[in-house]
């Protein structure tokens, strides 16, 4: 049977949509962190990091195969043992997601010789001795008496003590007799007990007995976890289980039936598309390996290349005391080179394909670009166990810490805010047209604007940036960025133009002037954009300014800046100015600034009476409505709007939910 490429892609999308209906209802990888415990004994990074990476590669494969795995590696200088174990109620796909989350977080313990992390769905540990049969550890065992859902009082406390106590005792006995796992609920209290697969039956009993005694000390908390060397025990008045045994009706659940039906339907489609997909992936990976090899050789021979060991020494082996920030793609450290030059080093352990793409994207885009309002890339290192980017060091913190940090060391004056706004605008304008290539940043926000010793703005973090051909009016792409800063046409249709950066800049301007965060979901007084718009329509726009300014600002200039922010955040692409026009509006006396005629697309009541997930759907629906509305407006006024696209949203509600959580 011969199918065209477009038919194969259509079948793939149908399969994804069908499976998403099940996954949205059933999936929950439970990646909340219950406890991270790092050992105090340390070694040099050059000794442990390569062994750690080798070790995790094997453990990752074993988790993929069995939902758990252990392994050890030996070298002349150190031996390391590792164990990963998903909790038994977690489906395989969620297990992999949970393990990936733990795999990303555990390296915070390096270069320590040991570390363990308990997530609500899985466990991961490494150590310098064989701990696989270890059941208890008096030095490191602990309980997490969570207060996130409150404390029981009165009659509820009496019920909780009885129900949780009986449930914990029953879970302990059942798990020991059931291969190390039990889950159940009793009178509205849910519980789970899990011993590691490497622990013996007698060891499991010993571990859970200790966990049972320890966790009962958390009463009257409604939620608690015992984090023991050989096991995990949790109770909660909220249902956190994927398949709670106490709710079993003895039959097959509706979710399973739906999954089976959709699975059978999808299997035929997958069989048809598998050959095409596998072939395409193979060719793409082959090209990627060839390109990566060429790039690696090129940079190793160029002046951009830094030796890994030199950067290690410059940052005192990435000592936590030298860490100065967290970028979109990794941690940032301050370093001092032998010649005395101070640098910033961005570091990421895990060279996933997406990260490698972002890494070289950033190097290729900005290594030759120089502008006073852009952070200068000095070079990179790709020869060590992890890849590194090297930047000029920017003395002060990122802008968001000046605006939103509760313990502000400095309150920015109006003059400083205005200079930051103008500098950021000039930097974006340069990206859009001041160099040989047009670049769209895609993630303009306060945390990506750094401030130097003179509080001059410098735009950073180009990992999401995209080149833009001179002959293109827009690109269609999967979305990436931060909710609250994304333009409606990009959020809904994935259409990318310079006006996406203009929109983000407009949001940033309103944040700088008001001292308030722009959030996609507002429960009380409405979103920042809506608030400023209301002030503007009632000729009270200066009342939106940061009260910390205490009225010390020129009203006309402040009104002009707020008007520019509103112009940049209009729903219609055609009505937003270009960044070169924005720079003129801000810097040229007498420049005639148009009146904003459209409110922002964000809905200030998105969360009223609903969940975040439903709010995301409302956000997308509202964006679609505003796009249609702005298209009609542009037609009636003779303005040309963006080309429409027949494609739907490029990301599901689940992606948007994840982005909103990351934003928080």
Per-residue pLDDT tens over the stretch 221-258: 999 999 999 999 999 999 999 854 434 333 444 444 44
Contact 11, 273 (CB under 8 A): yes
Please give the pLDDT value at position 479.
57
Q: Residue 622's pLDDT is what?
A: 53
Backbone φ and ψ for 189, nearest 5 degrees, come out as -110, 130
- Give the pLDDT score at 29: 66
Q: Is 640 helix (H, G, I), strand (E, B) or coil?
A: coil
Domain 302-392 and domain 475-663 have a common topology: no
**Has residue 520 got a pLDDT over 50?**
no
Q: What homologous superfamily does CATH list for 475-663?
A: Transferase(Phosphotransferase) domain 1 (1.10.510.10)
Q: What is the pLDDT of residue 93?
A: 85
> Is the model more confident about 20 or about 149?
149
Instruction: Please state the pTM of the whole predicted model.
Output: 0.52
The two structure tokens encoding residue 283: 């060719």
What is the rounded distance in angstroms from the CA atom of residue 469 to the CA atom of residue 53? 39
How do strand 475-476 and strand 495-496 relate by DSSP bridges?
antiparallel
Residue 600's pLDDT is 62
Backbone angles phi, psi at 544, to 5 degrees: -85, -5
Domain boundaries, the chain: 141-241, 302-392, 475-663
Report the range of poorest mean pLDDT among 11-25, 191-205, 420-434: 11-25
Given the residues 28, 89, 223, 443, the one annotated as active site: 443
Give the span between the Cα atoms of 375 and 392, in whole angstroms.
7
Residue 423 has pLDDT above 50, yes or no: yes
The radius of gyration of the chain from alpha carbons, rounded to an integer in Å, stands at 27
Q: Is 301 annotated as a binding residue?
A: no
- In angstroms, the CA 71 to CA 219 distance is 37
pLDDT digits (tens, 9 = 90+) for 455-476: 999 998 875 556 654 444 444 4
Q: Is 407 a catalytic residue?
A: no
Q: How confident is the model at residue 664 (pLDDT cuts 50, 70, 90)?
A: very low
251-270 pLDDT, tens digit each: 444 444 444 444 444 444 44
Share of the chain above pLDDT 70, in %: 68
The pLDDT of residue 413: 96
> 141-241, superfamily in CATH?
Gnk2 domain, C-X8-C-X2-C motif (3.30.430.20)
Digit-coded pLDDT (tens) for 535-551: 999 999 889 999 999 99
**CA within 13 Å, CB half, 643:** 12
Residue 284: its H or E element: helix 254-301
**What pLDDT is stored for residue 357 in this prediction?**
58
Contact 642, 574 (CB under 8 A): yes
Q: Report pLDDT digits (tens) over 609-659.
A: 344 444 445 555 555 555 555 544 444 433 333 333 333 333 333 333 334
pLDDT greater than 90 at residue 315: yes
Output 479 or 372, whichever has higher pLDDT.
Answer: 372
- The yes or no reply on domain 302-392 and CATH 3.30.200.20 is yes
* CA distance readout (Å), 224 to 37, 212, 483, 625, 626: 17, 11, 32, 44, 45
């Amino acid at each position: 049977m011969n199918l065209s490429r477009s038919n194969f892609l259509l079948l793939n999308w149908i399969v994804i949509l069908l499976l998403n209906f099940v996954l949205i209802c059933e999936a929950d990888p439970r990646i909340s962190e219950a406890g991270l415990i790092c050992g105090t004994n340390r070694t040099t990074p050059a000794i442990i990091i390569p062994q750690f990476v080798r070790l995790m590669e094997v453990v990752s494969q074993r988790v993929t195969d069995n939902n758990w795995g252990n392994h050890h590696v030996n070298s002349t200088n150190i031996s390391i043992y590792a164990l990963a174990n998903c909790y038994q109620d977690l489906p395989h796909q969620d297990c992999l997601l949970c393990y990936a989350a733990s795999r990303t977080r555990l390296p915070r313990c390096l270069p320590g010789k040991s570390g363990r992390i308990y997530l609500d769905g899985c466990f991961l540990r490494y150590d310098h001795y064989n701990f696989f049969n270890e059941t208890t550890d008096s030095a490191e065992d602990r309980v997490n008496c969570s207060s996130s859902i409150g404390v029981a009082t009165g009659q509820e406390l009496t019920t909780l003590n009885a129900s949780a106590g009986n449930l914990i005792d029953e879970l302990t006995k059942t798990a020991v007799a059931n291969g190390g796992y039990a889950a159940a609920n009793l009178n509205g209290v849910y519980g789970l007990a899990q011993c590691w697969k490497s622990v013996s039956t007698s060891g499991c009993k010993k571990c859970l007995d200790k966990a049972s005694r320890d966790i009962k000390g958390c009463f009257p908390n409604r939620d608690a976890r015992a984090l023991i060397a050989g096991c995990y025990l949790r109770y909660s008045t909220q249902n956190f289980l994927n398949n709670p045994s106490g709710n079993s009706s003895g039959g097959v659940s509706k979710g399973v039936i739906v999954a089976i039906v959709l699975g059978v339907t999808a299997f035929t489609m997958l069989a048809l598309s598998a050959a095409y997909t596998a072939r395409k992936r193979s060719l793409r990976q082959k090209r990627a390996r060839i390109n990566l090899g060429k790039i690696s050789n090129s940079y190793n021979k160029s002046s951009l290349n830094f030796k890994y060991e030199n950067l290690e020494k410059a940052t005192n082996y990435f000592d936590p005391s030298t860490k100065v920030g967290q970028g979109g793609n990794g941690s940032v450290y301050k370093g001092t080179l032998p010649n005395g030059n101070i640098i910033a080093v961005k570091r990421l352990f895990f060279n996933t394909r997406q990260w490698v793409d972002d890494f070289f994207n950033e190097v290729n885009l900005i290594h030759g670009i120089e502008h006073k309002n852009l952070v200068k890339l000095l070079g990179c290192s790709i020869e060590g166990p992890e890849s590194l980017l090297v930047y000029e060091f920017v003395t002060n913190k990122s802008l968001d810490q000046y605006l939103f940090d509760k313990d502000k060391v400095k309150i920015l004056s109006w003059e400083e805010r205005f200079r930051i706004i103008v500098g950021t605008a000039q930097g974006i304008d340069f990206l859009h047209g001041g160099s040989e290539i047009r670049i769209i940043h895609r993630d303009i926000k306060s945390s990506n604007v750094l401030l130097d010793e003179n509080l001059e703005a410098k735009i950073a973090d180009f990992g999401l940036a995209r080149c833009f051909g001179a002959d293109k009016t827009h690109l269609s792409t999967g979305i990436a960025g931060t909710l609250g800063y994304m333009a409606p046409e990009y959020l809904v249709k994935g259409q990318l133009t310079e006006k996406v950066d203009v929109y983000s800049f407009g949001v940033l301007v309103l944040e700088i002037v008001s001292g308030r965060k722009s959030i996609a979901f507002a429960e009380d007084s409405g979103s920042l954009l809506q608030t400023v718009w209301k002030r503007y329509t009632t000729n009270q726009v200066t009342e939106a300014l940061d009260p910390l300014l205490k009225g010390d600002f020129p009203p006309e200039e402040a009104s002009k800046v707020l008007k520019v922010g509103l112009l940049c955040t209009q729903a219609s692409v055609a009505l937003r100015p270009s960044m070169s026009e924005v720079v003129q509006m801000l810097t040229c006396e007498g420049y005639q600034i148009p009146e904003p005629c459209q409110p922002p697309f964000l809905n200030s009541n998105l969360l009223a009476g609903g969940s975040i997930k439903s709010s995301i759907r409302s956000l997308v629906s509202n964006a679609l409505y505003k796009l249609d509305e702005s298209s009609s407006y542009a037609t009636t006024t003779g303005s040309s709007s963006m080309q429409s696209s027949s494609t739907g949203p490029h990301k599901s509600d689940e992606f948007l939910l994840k982005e909103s959580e990351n934003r928080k």
